[in-house]
Amino acid sequence: MTMDARTSRQIEDEAAAWLARRGGSSWTDRDTAEFDAWLAAATAHRVAFVRLESGWAGCARLKALGAGIPRGTIPARGQWAAPTPPDRAVRTAVPRTARAARLAGVLAVLAIGTAIGLGWRAWFAVEAASYATAAGEMRTIALADGSFATLGPGSVIDVRFTRRDRGVALARGEAFFTVAHDTRRPFTVAVGARRAVAVGTQFAVRRDPDEMRIVVTEGVVRLELQSAHRDAAAPSTLLTAGAVATARANSVFVRAGSVAEAERALSWRNGYLSFHDTPLAAAVAEFNRYGARPLVVGDAAVGQIRIGGNFRWSNSDAFVRLLEEGFDVRVDRQADRIVLHSR
């Protein structure tokens, strides 16, 4: 069972109290029995007590090593005082109550430091992972916060979640995200200096060499462009369900449409590429995102042919046969590629 930071802090406080009481003058056999029962109640109790006891012993050791050195002076390396042999030791009587008070003060400092460390770890704990798909592979991943990411073929994402935020970097390709609702931690997908920020929604992000495309099918996504000035607010655009946004170097183009139209733009999730009056050059570029054997546009004329329809991205051979039989396209099938020429 994993304890939260608050429970750990309580145990540290209890351990500090026991250590302070044990060094006092009023320690009894009953205290010993209660202390032994507390230690036996949980492994975490024993661990906390041993850690604080070791810390206190270390403080005493440092004090002994510094004996005889004026206050405020940092001794040079090798000049720490050696412990006085037992037979020459000068013992000064210190009331047990005073020692207990000093011990309690030091333990309080140790407890505060421990609490700060636990709080820091809880706030900035990182869950990091990377996921990738090969050409022709599609994969759905369950993320640590309950969200899901569906990666298109040839895609890579780097995930970094903390207790403050949820960050994903799209290094290559395209991914569709179903985001678990969490108003305290926005969900951010970054492509270079651009970020798509959501709380609980569904949207896709695609990375191309010169642009980023966002398709929203549910909820609202905020598209941000990182400002060149750290203190300046980042320019942003709100995208609602049905919107398709294309962000380039210094511009954002948004096409508002229906959710059904946005879903068609994401037909790759169902294994299809959808074209409507699309230049063949653009269709070939889409197929090359998914297939292992690239298609090549052999001349400008063939690249300008307009096509439409739904095609399986895993079957580029069928697409090429359609071009060969239904259009003025000559196909040159080579070992490592397929070249398309106009007749």
User: What amino acid is encoded at 133 in this protein?
Assistant: T
**What is the reported pLDDT for 8?**
66
The total of other beta-carbon atoms located within 10 Å of residue 136's CB is 14
- Spans of all domains in the chain: 5-124, 127-264, 271-342
61, 81 contact by CB (below 8 A): no
pLDDT, mean of residues 279-308:
90
**What is the reported pLDDT for 35?**
86
The string of pLDDT tens digits covering residues 39-94 is 888 777 876 777 677 666 655 544 544 555 555 555 554 454 444 444 444 444 55
**What is the reported pLDDT for 81?**
46
53, 12 contact by CB (below 8 A): no
pLDDT above 60 (res 1): no
| DSSP code at position 166 | E
pLDDT, mean of residues 1-25:
68
Q: What is the residue whose two structure tokens read 């508002």?
A: 256
Q: If pLDDT is split at 50, 70 and 90, which confidence band does 115 have? A: low
127-264 against 271-342: fold identical: no
> How many Å apart are CA 307 and CA 12, to the nearest integer?
70
User: What's the sign of the alpha-carbon dihedral 333, 336, 338, 341?
Assistant: negative
Q: For residues 103 and 128, which has the higher predicted lDDT (pLDDT)? A: 128
Six-digit token string for 185: 């931690």
What is the number of alpha carbons within 13 Å of residue 320 lying toward its C-beta?
21
The total of other beta-carbon atoms located within 10 Å of residue 191's CB is 21
Burial of residue 198, with CB atoms counted within 10 A of its CB: 0-12 exposed, 13-18 middle, 19 or more buried: buried
Fold of 127-264: Jelly Rolls (2.60.120)
The string of pLDDT tens digits covering residues 136-178 is 889 999 998 999 999 998 899 999 999 889 999 999 999 999 9
Six-digit token string for 336: 């490592």
Write down the pTM of the prediction: 0.60
Radius of gyration, alpha carbons of the chain: 33
Cα 131 to Cα 127, 142, 214, distances in angstroms: 13, 11, 20
Closest CA to 109 of 35, 46, 59: 59
The string of pLDDT tens digits covering residues 246-274 is 998 778 899 999 999 999 889 999 888 88
Cα 216 to Cα 182, 213, 245, distances in angstroms: 18, 10, 9
92, 63 contact by CB (below 8 A): no
**What are residue 237's DSSP bridge partners?**
223
Cα 96 to Cα 21, 27, 93, 110, 302, distances in angstroms: 11, 11, 9, 21, 96
The total of other beta-carbon atoms located within 10 Å of residue 318's CB is 11
CATH code reported for the domain at 271-342: 3.55.50.30
User: What amino acid is encoded at 30 in this protein?
Assistant: R
3-state SS assignment for residue 194: strand
Closest CA to 302 of 276, 325, 331, 281: 281
Q: What is the residue whose two structure tokens read 């949207």?
A: 203
Alpha helices in the chain (DSSP H): 5-22, 29-41, 43-65, 96-124, 259-265, 280-290, 300-303, 316-326
> How many Å apart are CA 126 and CA 146, to the nearest integer?
16
pLDDT, mean of residues 277-298:
89
